[in-house]
Amino acid sequence: MALTKKTVNWINKLNISLKGKTVLVTGSNSGVGFKTVESALYLGADVIMACRNKKKAEAAREELIKEYPNALIQILQLDLSDLSSIDSFTKNIFDNKIDIDIFVNNAGTFHKSGVTKDGFENVLGTNYFAVYYLSEKILPYLETLSHKVIYCNTISVVHKMAKIDYDDFYFTRKYKHFAVYARSKLCLAKYSYYLSKRYENSNIDVFMIHPGISVTPLGANAFGNTVKKLAGLMKWVFNSPEKSSLSLYYIISKDLQTGSIVGPHIFEAWGYPKENRVRKCVKEGADELIKFSDNEIKKII
């Protein structure tokens, strides 16, 4: 489905072009990621869709090609629930010296109990540990590129409701779907802020983006058919995935400081994107989290 006239007008006002740039978006076969890629194509970028399901990715690419027949859209396989898939994905990029100007970690999961292939609790494993592992591998490579790189991690407004308890990090005492998701996004936000400091004097700017509230398969599929139907009916109340995908383009058009958060401007849940406040919970406690994360990953690799 083509971008709406409203979106096109909003993007045009930014006065930006991505001609000659390569934009990689993980989880771009669906929802916010798909729309992020669509806008990148509109702005003239070459696109890399990093997706776990080849069939879904190809169907999404077909849809985009109809709208942008001359576009360069590459698909790379990436399953965040499997660290060895991240190894193959990054090896592919390194071996083929793939040039990337904008890297968006968008893929994520919600309300999915169980464990990843490596034994991490599913939501924390996919939304946090996988992005941590991937970032530690890809950022040193991106740092060698001779141009500026924008690196974005997708958090959620619910990060501000989360708490980190290292004694029961995986909620083994009592599993709570929402709290696990919120914790995964707070960890990702803390880590992203830490990365922005680590790469402060480099070619890489690190940002956190979030979609506010948008009806996509992420939430709609989580609770069964009744909620799915309700979500379908309520979708006009929330941001469209298209509007929720515009944070990246706001960042590109402004000279924002690395470490900024961008998301919808109305209660950080609805509307067009603006810079959001970076809270204390994001700025503090990274050292403990990094130490913990390193140890958890070392237990697996």
Ligand X SMILES: NC(=O)c1ccc[n+]([C@@H]2O[C@H](COP(=O)([O-])OP(=O)(O)OC[C@H]3O[C@@H](n4cnc5c(N)ncnc54)[C@H](OP(=O)(O)O)[C@@H]3O)[C@@H](O)[C@H]2O)c1
Largest CA distance in the chain: 53
213-239 CB burial, b ≥16 within 10 A, e <16: bbbbebbbbbeeeeeeeebeeeeeebb
State which residue, 13 or 55, has the beta carbon closest to ligand X: 55
What's the rounded Cα separation, in Å, for the pair 24 and 73? Answer: 10
Two tokens, residue 199: 């790469």
Distance in Å, CB of 151 to ligand X, minimum: 15
Binding site for ligand X (CB under 6 A): 27, 29-33, 51-53, 56, 78-81, 106-110, 126, 154, 156, 210-211, 213-214, 216-219, 241
Distance in Å, CB of 17 to ligand X, minimum: 25
Q: Sign of torsion, CA 51 98 23 200?
A: positive
State which residue, 42 or 110, has the beta carbon closest to ligand X: 110
State which residue, 38 or 203, has the beta carbon closest to ligand X: 38
Helix (H) or strand (E) holding 71: none
State which residue, 118 or 205, has the beta carbon closest to ligand X: 118
Two tokens, residue 265: 């401007």
Give me the amino acid identity at 31.
G
State which residue, 52 or 61, has the beta carbon closest to ligand X: 52
Distance in Å, CB of 92 to ligand X, minimum: 15
State which residue, 203 or 267, has the beta carbon closest to ligand X: 267
Give me the amino acid identity at 208.
M
Two tokens, residue 83: 């660290």
Distance in Å, CB of 297 to ligand X, minimum: 16
What's the rounded Cα separation, in Å, for the pair 33 and 106? Answer: 6
Give me the amino acid identity at 8.
V
Distance in Å, CB of 162 to ligand X, minimum: 13
Distance in Å, CB of 214 to ligand X, minimum: 4
